[in-house]
Structure 1
Amino acid sequence: MTAEERREFVRAHRTCVFGYGRRHDGPSMTIVYYVMDGDDILVSTMAERGKAKAVRRNPKVSLCVMDEKWPPTYLQVYCDASVETDVEAATDLMMRIAGVMAGQPMPDSVRGQVRQGALAEKRVVLRLRPYETFETPPRHVYSAKDIEGLTHSLGQRLPWK
């Protein structure tokens, strides 16, 4: 994929595995919905959740953006993250993500309820600034005849832009 194709792959999807370093034990991973803001990726979470705490400790995170159809194709994205605490930004993001989940934009009539939820849950915005991707060419087996000549290659690190 070219750099533009990789960015378009991320724009065209809505869920990813969000990976971050834990204080103890191994890395943590969680599935999240996301939206784009230019080249930045936005994720909503609660201020006291592990994702927000981890970003405050170490801003290096990774995403595994997966195609939602079979066979799975994915792109790993490495990002520098920050936590934004503005309640209006958190409300805007929650409105956008609810629209992504529903498959249609949320009407302004629910904004007050969404804002109340953002306040009650102490929602924050995780702003992820991609700097690098990692792609592995997919190799799929659809039948026994695909095994003949099946090879794998190493993936490659590629800049976001």
Structure 2
Amino acid sequence: MQLLPFAAEPFTAPTDRDMLPSERREFVRTHRTCVFGHRRRNDGPGMSVVYYVPTDEDELLVSTMAGRGKARTVARDGKVSLCVLDERWPFSYLQVYADAVVDRDPALAVDVLMAVGWRMSGQRLAEEARPFVAKRCEAEERVVLRCRPYGTFATPPRHLYTNEQLAVLTHWTSSVLPWDAADPAARH
């Protein structure tokens, strides 16, 4: 498994149609933040804004502390949602449904936290930082949530730049598509 590098230019969602399945995957692979949602025993869903790291095997990796609610919930119930956020305006998002497990491998925890640092700063962390990151991972009892997507739900970016646009503002419905769905055949 390889962690994908930080994408300096994230995929831009189309504004005139629903995203194709391949575009949904590209959207997820090239963005970096999401709202991580998990089921709680009581109350509504737990939600946290986190950085995630995609892999070449289509897993989405999230670094967290073993004692946090995200890790405890995933250990008990591996169903999670990641609402992947587009950081550009007009704002769009893509909901990803995933099965998740807790991975306690300390080397993976360091690799993921190094990759998160790259995503946070926009600059690759120097290898000289690895011992400091490893020490932090150990002190914070860092684990990795390995999220395997199985479905997506997309929403297009919509925004009014002037009130006169209200008459032409459109929306359409979307649906949950399997993560590995093929794009529809082109119409002629």
What does the per-residue CA deviation read over 1:79-123, in whole Å, with 9 as the maximum and x for residues that have no partner? Answer: 000000011110111111111111111111111111111111100
Are the counterparts in 1 of residues 92 and 158 from structure 2 also a CA contact under 8 Å?
no
Are the counterparts in 1 of residues 92 and 155 from structure 2 also a CA contact under 8 Å?
no
Match in the other structure for 1:138: 157
1:35 to 50, 53, 66: 53
Cα deviation for residue 126 of structure 1 reads: 0.4
Tell me how far apart the structure 2 counterparts of residues 120 and 139 of structure 1 sit (CA, whole Å).
Answer: 43
Are the counterparts in 1 of residues 110 and 130 from structure 2 also a CA contact under 8 Å?
yes
Are the counterparts in 2 of residues 41 and 127 from structure 1 also a CA contact under 8 Å?
yes
Aligned letter for 2:20? T
Cα deviation for residue 37 of structure 1 reads: 1.1
Q: Give yes or no for the alignment of 1:114 onto 2:133.
A: yes
Aligned letter for 1:34? Y
Tell me how far apart the structure 1 counterparts of residues 130 and 170 of structure 2 sit (CA, whole Å).
Answer: 51
Q: Give yes or no for the alignment of 1:79 onto 2:98.
A: yes
What does the per-residue CA deviation read over 1:121-153, in whole Å, with 9 as the maximum and x for residues that have no partner? Answer: 100000000000011333322212211143433
Aligned letter for 1:18? F
Structure 1 gap ranges (5+) = none
Structure 2 gap ranges (5+) = 1-18, 181-188
Detail structure 1 runs of 4+ shifted over 6 Å in the superposition: none
- TM-score for the superposition, normalised by structure 2: 0.82
Match in the other structure for 1:63: 82
- TM-score for the superposition, normalised by structure 1: 0.95
Tell me how far apart the structure 1 counterparts of residues 148 and 116 of structure 2 sit (CA, whole Å).
Answer: 18
Q: Percentage identity across aligned positions?
A: 55
SS state of the match for residue 153, structure 1? coil
SS state of the match for residue 161, structure 2? coil
> What is the root-mean-square deviation of aligned Cα atoms in Å?
1.1
SS state of the match for residue 176, structure 2? strand
Q: Give yes or no for the alignment of 1:11 onto 2:29.
A: yes
SS state of the match for residue 115, structure 2? helix
Cα deviation for residue 4 of structure 1 reads: 1.4
Are the counterparts in 1 of residues 90 and 158 from structure 2 also a CA contact under 8 Å?
no
Cα deviation for residue 69 of structure 1 reads: 1.2
Q: Give yes or no for the alignment of 1:92 onto 2:114.
A: no
Tell me how far apart the structure 1 counterparts of residues 172 and 160 of structure 2 sit (CA, whole Å).
Answer: 15
SS state of the match for residue 23, structure 2? helix
2:143 to 117, 121, 124: 124
Greater strand share, structure number: 1
